[in-house]
Structure 1
Amino acid sequence: MSQISSLFVTRLYQAALSEHGKPIDAAELEASCWSIAQDDEAGQEWCDENGFPGYTSYASLTDLPYRFPIFKDLVKVLNKHVKAFAQDLNFNLDGRKLKLEDIWINILPPGGIHTGHIHPHSVISGTTYLAVPKGASAIKFEDPRLAMMMAAPARTKDARAEMRTFHYVTPEPGEVLLWESWLRHEVPLNMAEAERISVSFNYNWG
Protein backbone atom coordinates (compact mmCIF):
# COMPACT_ATOMS: atom_id res chain seq x y z
CA MET A 1 0.00 0.00 0.00
CA SER A 2 1.37 3.41 -0.95
CA GLN A 3 2.44 5.91 1.70
CA ILE A 4 3.06 9.65 1.50
CA SER A 5 5.02 11.37 4.24
CA SER A 6 5.74 15.00 5.07
CA LEU A 7 9.47 15.73 5.24
CA PHE A 8 11.48 18.72 6.47
CA VAL A 9 8.60 20.47 8.16
CA THR A 10 8.67 24.25 8.76
CA ARG A 11 7.21 25.07 12.18
CA LEU A 12 5.38 28.27 13.12
CA TYR A 13 4.62 29.03 16.77
CA GLN A 14 1.55 31.12 17.62
CA ALA A 15 0.30 31.75 21.15
CA ALA A 16 -1.14 34.33 23.47
CA LEU A 17 1.69 36.23 25.12
CA SER A 18 -0.05 35.62 28.46
CA GLU A 19 0.21 31.84 28.04
CA HIS A 20 3.64 31.89 29.71
CA GLY A 21 4.67 34.03 32.63
CA LYS A 22 3.44 37.29 34.07
CA PRO A 23 0.79 39.15 32.02
CA ILE A 24 2.14 42.23 30.29
CA ASP A 25 0.29 45.56 30.54
CA ALA A 26 -0.50 46.04 26.84
CA ALA A 27 -1.55 49.66 27.25
CA GLU A 28 1.71 50.54 29.02
CA LEU A 29 3.76 48.70 26.41
CA GLU A 30 2.01 50.47 23.53
CA ALA A 31 2.37 53.85 25.25
CA SER A 32 6.08 53.16 25.74
CA CYS A 33 6.45 52.40 22.03
CA TRP A 34 4.86 55.71 21.09
CA SER A 35 6.99 57.60 23.63
CA ILE A 36 10.20 56.01 22.36
CA ALA A 37 9.26 56.71 18.73
CA GLN A 38 8.66 60.38 19.48
CA ASP A 39 11.94 60.82 21.38
CA ASP A 40 14.24 58.68 19.23
CA GLU A 41 15.64 61.27 16.82
CA ALA A 42 18.37 58.90 15.60
CA GLY A 43 15.77 56.29 14.73
CA GLN A 44 13.59 58.86 12.98
CA GLU A 45 16.56 60.03 10.92
CA TRP A 46 17.49 56.47 9.99
CA CYS A 47 13.93 55.77 8.81
CA ASP A 48 13.91 58.95 6.71
CA GLU A 49 17.32 58.27 5.18
CA ASN A 50 16.47 54.67 4.31
CA GLY A 51 12.92 55.23 3.11
CA PHE A 52 11.56 53.10 5.94
CA PRO A 53 7.81 53.66 6.40
CA GLY A 54 6.72 54.77 9.84
CA TYR A 55 9.17 54.07 12.64
CA THR A 56 11.51 51.32 13.80
CA SER A 57 14.06 51.37 16.60
CA TYR A 58 16.04 48.56 14.94
CA ALA A 59 18.98 50.74 13.88
CA SER A 60 19.05 53.15 16.83
CA LEU A 61 18.19 51.57 20.20
CA THR A 62 19.72 48.25 21.23
CA ASP A 63 18.98 48.34 24.95
CA LEU A 64 15.22 48.68 25.33
CA PRO A 65 15.01 46.18 28.26
CA TYR A 66 17.50 48.33 30.20
CA ARG A 67 15.77 51.61 29.45
CA PHE A 68 12.17 50.58 30.15
CA PRO A 69 11.05 48.08 32.82
CA ILE A 70 8.05 47.06 30.70
CA PHE A 71 10.44 45.72 28.02
CA LYS A 72 12.43 43.86 30.67
CA ASP A 73 9.19 42.18 31.77
CA LEU A 74 8.36 41.40 28.15
CA VAL A 75 11.70 39.68 27.57
CA LYS A 76 11.13 37.43 30.61
CA VAL A 77 7.88 36.23 29.04
CA LEU A 78 9.39 35.88 25.56
CA ASN A 79 12.19 33.72 27.00
CA LYS A 80 9.60 31.16 28.08
CA HIS A 81 7.88 31.11 24.69
CA VAL A 82 11.20 30.71 22.89
CA LYS A 83 12.17 27.88 25.23
CA ALA A 84 8.91 26.07 24.46
CA PHE A 85 9.41 26.53 20.71
CA ALA A 86 13.01 25.30 20.87
CA GLN A 87 11.80 22.14 22.60
CA ASP A 88 9.21 21.60 19.87
CA LEU A 89 11.95 21.99 17.25
CA ASN A 90 13.99 19.28 18.98
CA PHE A 91 17.03 21.54 19.17
CA ASN A 92 20.07 20.06 20.88
CA LEU A 93 21.39 23.16 22.63
CA ASP A 94 24.23 21.27 24.34
CA GLY A 95 23.39 22.70 27.75
CA ARG A 96 23.26 26.29 26.55
CA LYS A 97 20.25 28.56 26.20
CA LEU A 98 18.90 30.63 23.37
CA LYS A 99 19.47 34.26 24.38
CA LEU A 100 17.92 37.51 23.25
CA GLU A 101 20.10 39.15 20.63
CA ASP A 102 18.05 42.24 19.85
CA ILE A 103 14.53 43.61 20.26
CA TRP A 104 12.96 46.55 18.45
CA ILE A 105 9.74 48.49 17.88
CA ASN A 106 7.82 48.65 14.60
CA ILE A 107 5.14 51.27 13.92
CA LEU A 108 3.78 50.73 10.41
CA PRO A 109 1.54 53.55 9.11
CA PRO A 110 -1.32 53.20 6.63
CA GLY A 111 0.19 52.41 3.24
CA GLY A 112 3.44 51.13 4.76
CA ILE A 113 5.11 47.81 3.97
CA HIS A 114 8.04 45.75 5.23
CA THR A 115 9.57 43.97 2.24
CA GLY A 116 10.64 40.32 2.23
CA HIS A 117 13.66 39.43 4.36
CA ILE A 118 15.27 36.88 6.68
CA HIS A 119 17.18 37.40 9.95
CA PRO A 120 20.76 36.20 9.33
CA HIS A 121 22.95 34.97 12.20
CA SER A 122 19.94 34.33 14.47
CA VAL A 123 18.21 31.08 15.42
CA ILE A 124 14.65 32.08 16.32
CA SER A 125 12.91 35.30 15.37
CA GLY A 126 9.49 36.56 16.23
CA THR A 127 7.02 39.35 16.79
CA THR A 128 4.46 40.22 19.42
CA TYR A 129 1.57 42.46 18.44
CA LEU A 130 0.18 45.49 20.25
CA ALA A 131 -2.15 47.10 17.72
CA VAL A 132 -3.63 45.32 14.70
CA PRO A 133 -6.45 47.56 13.42
CA LYS A 134 -9.07 46.24 11.01
CA GLY A 135 -7.54 45.94 7.56
CA ALA A 136 -3.97 45.84 8.88
CA SER A 137 -1.48 43.64 7.07
CA ALA A 138 -1.14 39.96 7.78
CA ILE A 139 2.41 38.65 8.01
CA LYS A 140 3.34 36.65 4.92
CA PHE A 141 5.67 33.64 5.07
CA GLU A 142 7.36 32.18 2.00
CA ASP A 143 8.08 28.52 1.29
CA PRO A 144 11.88 28.28 1.76
CA ARG A 145 12.08 25.93 -1.24
CA LEU A 146 10.58 28.50 -3.60
CA ALA A 147 13.86 29.34 -5.37
CA MET A 148 14.32 25.67 -6.26
CA MET A 149 10.83 25.12 -7.71
CA MET A 150 12.01 25.92 -11.22
CA ALA A 151 9.35 24.02 -13.15
CA ALA A 152 6.70 23.32 -10.52
CA PRO A 153 3.08 24.14 -11.42
CA ALA A 154 1.19 26.58 -9.25
CA ARG A 155 -0.74 25.14 -6.31
CA THR A 156 -4.52 24.85 -6.48
CA LYS A 157 -6.55 27.52 -4.69
CA ASP A 158 -7.83 24.98 -2.16
CA ALA A 159 -4.38 23.51 -1.43
CA ARG A 160 -3.80 22.45 2.16
CA ALA A 161 -2.07 25.08 4.28
CA GLU A 162 1.19 23.11 4.45
CA MET A 163 1.27 22.79 0.64
CA ARG A 164 0.86 26.47 -0.22
CA THR A 165 3.71 28.60 -1.54
CA PHE A 166 2.81 31.47 0.78
CA HIS A 167 1.17 31.42 4.19
CA TYR A 168 -0.56 34.44 5.72
CA VAL A 169 -1.20 34.96 9.43
CA THR A 170 -3.38 37.77 10.73
CA PRO A 171 -2.35 38.07 14.38
CA GLU A 172 -4.41 39.37 17.25
CA PRO A 173 -3.13 41.98 19.72
CA GLY A 174 -1.45 40.17 22.59
CA GLU A 175 -0.24 37.26 20.44
CA VAL A 176 3.32 36.20 19.76
CA LEU A 177 4.59 34.48 16.62
CA LEU A 178 7.92 32.61 16.46
CA TRP A 179 9.72 31.05 13.52
CA GLU A 180 13.22 29.91 12.58
CA SER A 181 15.21 32.92 11.46
CA TRP A 182 15.98 31.58 7.98
CA LEU A 183 12.27 31.68 7.06
CA ARG A 184 11.66 34.53 4.62
CA HIS A 185 8.73 36.78 5.51
CA GLU A 186 7.25 40.19 4.80
CA VAL A 187 4.45 42.54 5.81
CA PRO A 188 2.31 43.55 2.81
CA LEU A 189 0.66 46.93 2.38
CA ASN A 190 -1.11 48.17 5.51
CA MET A 191 -4.65 48.83 4.31
CA ALA A 192 -5.89 49.95 7.72
CA GLU A 193 -6.57 53.57 8.62
CA ALA A 194 -4.33 53.38 11.70
CA GLU A 195 -0.84 52.23 12.64
CA ARG A 196 0.05 48.57 13.06
CA ILE A 197 2.29 48.31 16.14
CA SER A 198 4.50 45.37 17.01
CA VAL A 199 7.71 44.46 18.81
CA SER A 200 10.10 42.12 16.99
CA PHE A 201 13.13 40.23 18.29
CA ASN A 202 15.90 37.75 17.53
CA TYR A 203 17.41 34.99 19.65
CA ASN A 204 20.80 33.38 19.07
CA TRP A 205 22.67 30.44 20.56
CA GLY A 206 25.79 30.54 22.67
Structure 2
Amino acid sequence: MSTISSLFVTRLYHAPLSEHGPAIDAEEMENSCFAIAEDDEAGQQWCEDNAYPGYTSYASLTDLPWRFPIFADLVKSLDAHVASFAEDLEFDLDGRKLVLEDLWINILPEGGYHAAHIHPHSVISGTTYVSMPEGASALKLEDPRHAMMMAAPPRRKDAREEMRNFIYVKPAVGDVLLWESWLRHEVVMNQSEDERVSVSFNYRWE
Protein backbone atom coordinates (compact mmCIF):
# COMPACT_ATOMS: atom_id res chain seq x y z
CA MET A 1 0.00 0.00 0.00
CA SER A 2 1.42 3.40 -0.97
CA THR A 3 1.79 6.21 1.54
CA ILE A 4 2.38 9.94 1.16
CA SER A 5 3.89 11.93 4.02
CA SER A 6 4.35 15.65 4.59
CA LEU A 7 8.02 16.36 5.35
CA PHE A 8 10.02 19.41 6.45
CA VAL A 9 7.01 21.35 7.64
CA THR A 10 6.98 25.17 7.87
CA ARG A 11 5.14 26.37 10.97
CA LEU A 12 3.19 29.62 11.36
CA TYR A 13 2.09 30.73 14.83
CA HIS A 14 -1.11 32.83 14.97
CA ALA A 15 -2.67 33.84 18.28
CA PRO A 16 -4.32 36.74 20.10
CA LEU A 17 -1.67 38.80 21.84
CA SER A 18 -3.86 38.65 24.98
CA GLU A 19 -3.31 34.89 25.26
CA HIS A 20 -0.04 35.57 27.12
CA GLY A 21 1.29 38.39 29.28
CA PRO A 22 -0.11 41.77 30.36
CA ALA A 23 -3.22 43.24 28.75
CA ILE A 24 -2.33 45.66 25.94
CA ASP A 25 -4.71 48.55 25.31
CA ALA A 26 -5.08 48.79 21.52
CA GLU A 27 -5.90 52.51 21.48
CA GLU A 28 -2.95 53.37 23.71
CA MET A 29 -0.63 51.29 21.54
CA GLU A 30 -1.85 52.99 18.37
CA ASN A 31 -1.49 56.47 19.89
CA SER A 32 2.02 55.59 21.09
CA CYS A 33 3.05 54.43 17.61
CA PHE A 34 1.88 57.66 15.98
CA ALA A 35 3.45 59.82 18.71
CA ILE A 36 6.81 58.10 18.27
CA ALA A 37 6.60 58.41 14.48
CA GLU A 38 5.85 62.13 14.74
CA ASP A 39 8.86 62.79 16.99
CA ASP A 40 11.35 60.45 15.29
CA GLU A 41 13.12 62.82 12.91
CA ALA A 42 15.94 60.34 12.27
CA GLY A 43 13.45 57.66 11.31
CA GLN A 44 11.54 60.04 9.05
CA GLN A 45 14.80 61.01 7.35
CA TRP A 46 15.79 57.36 6.87
CA CYS A 47 12.41 56.60 5.27
CA GLU A 48 12.81 59.57 2.93
CA ASP A 49 16.40 58.69 2.01
CA ASN A 50 15.47 55.05 1.32
CA ALA A 51 12.15 55.71 -0.44
CA TYR A 52 10.32 53.74 2.26
CA PRO A 53 6.57 54.28 1.85
CA GLY A 54 5.29 55.45 5.21
CA TYR A 55 7.25 55.21 8.45
CA THR A 56 9.39 52.64 10.24
CA SER A 57 11.53 53.00 13.36
CA TYR A 58 13.68 50.03 12.28
CA ALA A 59 16.78 52.08 11.49
CA SER A 60 16.42 54.79 14.15
CA LEU A 61 15.11 53.58 17.53
CA THR A 62 16.33 50.64 19.61
CA ASP A 63 14.77 51.49 22.99
CA LEU A 64 10.99 51.48 22.53
CA PRO A 65 10.35 49.45 25.74
CA TRP A 66 12.26 52.13 27.69
CA ARG A 67 10.45 55.04 26.04
CA PHE A 68 6.89 53.81 26.59
CA PRO A 69 5.79 51.34 29.33
CA ILE A 70 3.23 49.81 26.96
CA PHE A 71 6.10 48.50 24.82
CA ALA A 72 7.70 46.95 27.91
CA ASP A 73 4.41 45.14 28.54
CA LEU A 74 4.34 44.11 24.88
CA VAL A 75 7.78 42.52 25.19
CA LYS A 76 6.64 40.48 28.22
CA SER A 77 3.75 39.15 26.15
CA LEU A 78 5.93 38.46 23.12
CA ASP A 79 8.48 36.60 25.25
CA ALA A 80 5.75 34.17 26.31
CA HIS A 81 4.41 33.71 22.77
CA VAL A 82 7.90 33.07 21.40
CA ALA A 83 8.61 30.54 24.15
CA SER A 84 5.38 28.72 23.25
CA PHE A 85 6.30 28.68 19.55
CA ALA A 86 9.82 27.47 20.29
CA GLU A 87 8.33 24.58 22.23
CA ASP A 88 6.11 23.67 19.27
CA LEU A 89 9.16 23.80 16.99
CA GLU A 90 10.89 21.36 19.35
CA PHE A 91 14.04 23.47 19.51
CA ASP A 92 16.81 22.16 21.76
CA LEU A 93 17.95 25.47 23.24
CA ASP A 94 20.63 23.78 25.38
CA GLY A 95 19.68 25.74 28.49
CA ARG A 96 19.79 29.09 26.71
CA LYS A 97 16.90 31.35 25.71
CA LEU A 98 15.47 33.13 22.72
CA VAL A 99 15.70 36.84 23.53
CA LEU A 100 14.41 39.98 21.87
CA GLU A 101 16.89 41.47 19.42
CA ASP A 102 14.90 44.19 17.62
CA LEU A 103 11.47 45.78 18.01
CA TRP A 104 10.19 48.40 15.57
CA ILE A 105 7.07 50.24 14.40
CA ASN A 106 5.68 50.11 10.86
CA ILE A 107 3.11 52.59 9.53
CA LEU A 108 2.05 52.00 5.92
CA PRO A 109 -0.23 54.56 4.23
CA GLU A 110 -2.46 53.89 1.26
CA GLY A 111 -0.31 52.42 -1.51
CA GLY A 112 2.46 51.44 0.90
CA TYR A 113 4.01 47.99 0.80
CA HIS A 114 7.08 46.10 2.01
CA ALA A 115 8.87 43.99 -0.59
CA ALA A 116 9.68 40.31 -0.02
CA HIS A 117 12.51 39.72 2.44
CA ILE A 118 13.89 37.51 5.21
CA HIS A 119 15.43 38.41 8.59
CA PRO A 120 19.05 37.17 8.62
CA HIS A 121 20.86 36.38 11.89
CA SER A 122 17.60 35.85 13.82
CA VAL A 123 15.76 32.69 14.86
CA ILE A 124 12.12 33.77 15.16
CA SER A 125 10.52 36.87 13.66
CA GLY A 126 7.01 38.17 13.86
CA THR A 127 4.53 41.01 13.93
CA THR A 128 1.69 42.14 16.13
CA TYR A 129 -1.07 44.22 14.55
CA VAL A 130 -2.11 47.60 15.93
CA SER A 131 -4.41 48.96 13.20
CA MET A 132 -5.85 46.96 10.29
CA PRO A 133 -8.52 49.08 8.58
CA GLU A 134 -10.81 47.56 5.97
CA GLY A 135 -8.77 46.95 2.83
CA ALA A 136 -5.44 46.92 4.70
CA SER A 137 -2.84 44.65 3.18
CA ALA A 138 -2.28 41.04 4.14
CA LEU A 139 0.97 39.30 4.95
CA LYS A 140 2.20 37.16 2.06
CA LEU A 141 4.32 34.11 2.92
CA GLU A 142 6.39 32.28 0.29
CA ASP A 143 7.12 28.55 0.14
CA PRO A 144 10.85 28.37 1.05
CA ARG A 145 11.36 25.73 -1.68
CA HIS A 146 10.05 28.06 -4.36
CA ALA A 147 13.44 28.83 -5.94
CA MET A 148 14.16 25.11 -6.32
CA MET A 149 10.94 24.11 -8.08
CA MET A 150 12.44 24.85 -11.51
CA ALA A 151 10.23 23.15 -14.11
CA ALA A 152 7.34 22.29 -11.78
CA PRO A 153 3.89 23.25 -13.13
CA PRO A 154 1.81 25.72 -11.15
CA ARG A 155 -0.49 24.53 -8.38
CA ARG A 156 -4.23 24.40 -8.94
CA LYS A 157 -6.16 27.37 -7.56
CA ASP A 158 -8.03 25.07 -5.19
CA ALA A 159 -4.87 23.32 -3.93
CA ARG A 160 -4.73 22.47 -0.24
CA GLU A 161 -3.20 25.27 1.83
CA GLU A 162 -0.02 23.31 2.62
CA MET A 163 0.53 22.72 -1.11
CA ARG A 164 0.32 26.34 -2.24
CA ASN A 165 3.36 28.41 -3.27
CA PHE A 166 2.10 31.53 -1.49
CA ILE A 167 -0.13 31.98 1.55
CA TYR A 168 -1.92 35.23 2.38
CA VAL A 169 -2.72 35.86 6.04
CA LYS A 170 -5.09 38.64 7.10
CA PRO A 171 -4.58 39.15 10.85
CA ALA A 172 -6.88 41.15 13.08
CA VAL A 173 -5.96 43.94 15.49
CA GLY A 174 -4.41 42.39 18.57
CA ASP A 175 -3.12 39.28 16.77
CA VAL A 176 0.48 38.14 16.79
CA LEU A 177 2.11 36.11 14.01
CA LEU A 178 5.41 34.26 14.43
CA TRP A 179 7.55 32.40 11.92
CA GLU A 180 11.13 31.20 11.59
CA SER A 181 13.27 34.08 10.36
CA TRP A 182 14.38 32.34 7.15
CA LEU A 183 10.79 32.37 5.84
CA ARG A 184 10.49 34.87 2.98
CA HIS A 185 7.53 37.23 3.41
CA GLU A 186 6.16 40.54 2.23
CA VAL A 187 3.42 43.05 2.96
CA VAL A 188 1.31 43.56 -0.14
CA MET A 189 0.10 47.02 -1.11
CA ASN A 190 -2.22 48.72 1.38
CA GLN A 191 -5.45 49.47 -0.46
CA SER A 192 -7.08 51.21 2.49
CA GLU A 193 -7.21 55.00 2.75
CA ASP A 194 -6.10 54.64 6.39
CA GLU A 195 -2.72 53.62 7.76
CA ARG A 196 -1.87 50.02 8.50
CA VAL A 197 0.05 49.97 11.81
CA SER A 198 2.06 47.07 13.17
CA VAL A 199 5.00 46.33 15.48
CA SER A 200 7.57 43.81 14.22
CA PHE A 201 10.39 42.06 16.04
CA ASN A 202 13.23 39.54 15.90
CA TYR A 203 14.43 37.03 18.51
CA ARG A 204 17.93 35.58 18.64
CA TRP A 205 19.37 32.56 20.46
CA GLU A 206 21.44 33.75 23.41
Aligned to 2:37: 37
1:170 partnered with 2:170: yes
1:147 partnered with 2:161: no
Scaled by the length of structure 1, the TM-score of the pair is: 0.99
1 CA distance for matches of 2:30 and 2:87? 30
Q: Which amino acid aligns with 2:199?
A: V
2 CA distance for matches of 1:24 and 1:113? 26
Unaligned runs of 5+ in 1: none
Equivalent residue runs for 1:54-203 within 5 Å:
54-203=54-203
Deviations 1:122-156 (A, max 9, x none): 00000000100111100000000000000100000
2 CA distance for matches of 1:28 and 1:135? 23
Residue 198 of structure 1 aligns to a residue in which SS? strand
1 CA distance for matches of 2:64 and 2:11? 28
How much does 1:21 deviate? 1.7
Aligned to 1:52: 52
2 CA distance for matches of 1:92 and 1:21? 24
How much does 1:71 deviate? 0.3
Once structures 1 and 2 are overlaid, which stretch shifts more, 100-109 or 20-29? Answer: 20-29
Residues 66 and 72 in structure 2, CA contact (< 8 A), matched pair in contact too: yes
Residues 140 and 185 in structure 2, CA contact (< 8 A), matched pair in contact too: yes
How much does 1:167 deviate? 0.3
RMSD: 0.4
How much does 1:72 deviate? 0.4
Q: Report the number of matched residues.
A: 206
How much does 1:193 deviate? 1.0
2 CA distance for matches of 1:175 and 1:188? 18
Structure 1 residue runs of 4 or more that deviate by more than 3 Å after TM superposition:
none
2 CA distance for matches of 1:35 and 1:14? 28
Residue 115 of structure 2 aligns to a residue in which SS? strand
